[in-house]
Chains A and B, each alone.
Chain A
């Protein structure tokens, strides 16, 4: 297992460097550059050029890139061109919010998706199966932001049970903090629920139809024991891979949900930074998100190796 972990970790390093390089190059071409954004309405080309020089942004791109990489390796992502705040502090403030949203979404998706898939598989071709498959199809087809608006209209506007938008920090109390996340996590998680349910169902069906399941049934193994002890465990292998992939997708999905619910996570930070041409923030967020996604994939790979010895390297 150590070999697998080491191999995957080493393989991640060039990916991170490549992501950093691509982010750096891409953000050179953002239509809005920081000096113009900072100067705002009324910024003449002369004033923009003067500020560009003052900020040292007129130096050659390779110099800027290696300076940035050198500082980033020391954990210093610099300061935002616009707010003057430390980028690492800003990310440290926003990252937990986005992670809570993404993990909350995946928690809801697993909590609802796995039982739904199992129940549908156990009741193959029955009314229950068709009803659950229908709900899953609707959820899969429904855009996340639209679902979010429906949830807000019902739970926040009509019933006033939950907040419609905004963010409450944990320092204001655990329940207010959780309350603020329920709707965004539901909006994010329900689409993934459908995905997990669909994969769980087909995977469970494959296990229930397998020879070992038939053999165990023939030998008098109780249905509950067969499902819970043997089939579900084996059916979870491909589902685990899907959950890993969805966790990474949750991160990008959370960017849209953050906008709809006005949650101050990494998504809103990155959108605002694009509009301001705030490249230190953009570059840092892209690299941090890339590292997170690589880490999730690494955990999934290791988990997969733990569950299935066949995928471990020789």
Chain B
């Protein structure tokens, strides 16, 4: 505040400038207040590559780039700019960043981190498989030399697996137990109560202090949703990870609700050569997806129903594409045309998906498809995606986020990890993908859009619905909640605005 006042006095320019500089940023000049956030997830170690744990890791770590709130646009973070060519990507790095342990962030730190991921045994190694080596151009410039065109790499670099960790912590071997990043918050081990409350304090040497909202963040692990809401009612926390069905109650009790799109669910059809090998059968299932019923029963009418996998901002988006409409009679006719009379399918479901699964089973039953639900615990459910045991699942697969360059090779390519029935993709689809990989950036949209069109026409994927995440919060203590689309479990902590 004082510094800004002096600056303004020194440069007595136009009144509007003073107004913007002094008053416009005054509210965010210094971090203030404590954000007390009740969540249902517990930290599972501090290795950002391993279990999805962004609820905690996003506080302490940052990547070279970050995802904008829209979930599609990539923003600068530790890298200020980058240049992409088919053979390399060059990054200019910020020169004012230090890790929490005082180690400077520079080209050597980037090299150490990429080498750390390349040595790991998890999916992030494959995600950056296109990188041959990282070359230090100068202290604050690095070049990634590529083995092959890797258009999905910028997206990957926004993800948790590529968060930058202090090279000293990597060398000391403590990084999986003690988080040392460059993020706006430092983990306060001494005030943390393991299994209960996790405390994070503002990092005094953070390079962009004016962008930071709360001065302190306390995450309370409250696994039971009723307990979580009771903690909000009792004033123990200011915000909780909530549920759409709780929104009217929260509102009536004086709380505010923040809603955002968290995951794009769809009908993940795996057995596209066997039980679902006929395009008419796939279309029939697409037409029998009970999206409105799911919306009414589970999401209080908050769902959105996109017609395709990616939104307008994505180059693969086809303007005007129409989703398959819910049409039981039409679906029956398609099945009859395909000569399918006794189709029986099993699909897995954890308890949290029970309503969606029951509605899907019922709707498929109405067109004569006997869909049997196999109930299982949540962790087993997520592994079941890759077993090749189930012809379809209603859910999402996060590794396919980020655009067609992630989606196609993951789901449809012959050797794709999620192509569990090893189905050959349509030849034209593969051809378009290869062409898009080699094509200059300006020619890519047309190729990617044709891919989206084929996926739609062949009903290889359909039944999209964007699930809604909800935060119930006390507006007397929190002015504004900030989230990222497609990021279900973490707030944009530093962008949260605390009430004055």
Contacts and interface: CB of A to CB of B under 8 A. Distances in A.
Instruction: Using C-beta atoms within 8 Å of the partner chain, give the interface range for chain A.
Output: 35 or more
A166 B376 contact: no
Contact of B227 (A40, A90, A262, A269): A262
B379 A167 contact: no
Given A45-B386, A47-B121, A275 B50 contact: no
Given A82-B45, A152-B230, A166-B220, A277 B50 contact: no
A276 B417 contact: no
Nearest to B175: A84
A60 interface: no
Contacts of A277: 379
Interface stretch (A2-10, A153-161, A290-298): A153-161
Contact of A31 (B230, B235, B379): B379
A264 B230 contact: no
B234 A260 contact: no
Contact of A93 (B121, B194, B377): B194
A22 B147 CA distance: 51
B417 A44 contact: yes
B246 interface: no
Contacts of B221: 262, 264
B87 interface: no
A32 B51 CA distance: 13
Interface hub of A40, A80, A165 (most chain B Cβ within 10 A): A165
A156 B232 CA distance: 10
Most B C-beta atoms less than 10 A away, residue of A44, A163, A263, A276: A44
A166 B222 contact: yes
A36 B398 CA distance: 16
B195 interface: yes
A62 interface: no
A260 B193 contact: no
Nearest to B125: A47
B382 A41 contact: yes
Interface string B103-132: 000000000000000000111000000000
B225 to A, nearest CB: 11
B223 interface: yes
Interface string A257-283: 001111111001100100111000000
Interface string B179-195: 00000000000000111
Name the prevailing secondary structure of the B interface residues: loop
A165 B228 contact: yes
Nearest to B38: A165
B383 A166 contact: no
Given A157-B233, A165-B236, A39 B380 contact: no
Interface string B146-159: 00000000000000
Contacts of B230: 152-153, 156-157, 164-165
B51 A272 contact: no
Given A84-B176, A152-B230, A160-B235, A264 B379 contact: no
B36 to A, nearest CB: 10
A264 B234 contact: no
Contact of A40 (B42, B43, B51, B223): B51
B352 to A, nearest CB: 13
Nearest to B379: A32
A262 B222 contact: yes
B383 A43 contact: yes
Interface in B383-408: 383, 386-387, 397-399
A16 interface: no
21 contacts: A31-B379, A36-B383, A37-B379, A40-B52, A42-B399, A43-B123, A44-B386, A44-B417, A45-B387, A50-B121, A85-B177, A160-B235, A165-B220, A262-B196, A262-B223, A262-B224, A262-B227, A262-B231, A264-B196, A272-B42, A276-B379
Interface of A: 31-32, 36-45, 47, 50-51, 54, 80, 82-85, 90, 93-94, 149, 152-153, 156-157, 160, 163-169, 259-265, 268-269, 272, 275-277
Given A40-B382, A90-B194, A165-B228, 19 more contacts: A31-B379, A39-B50, A40-B51, A42-B417, A43-B386, A44-B123, A47-B121, A83-B44, A84-B176, A84-B177, A160-B234, A160-B235, A165-B227, A167-B195, A262-B222, A262-B231, A264-B194, A268-B223, A275-B377
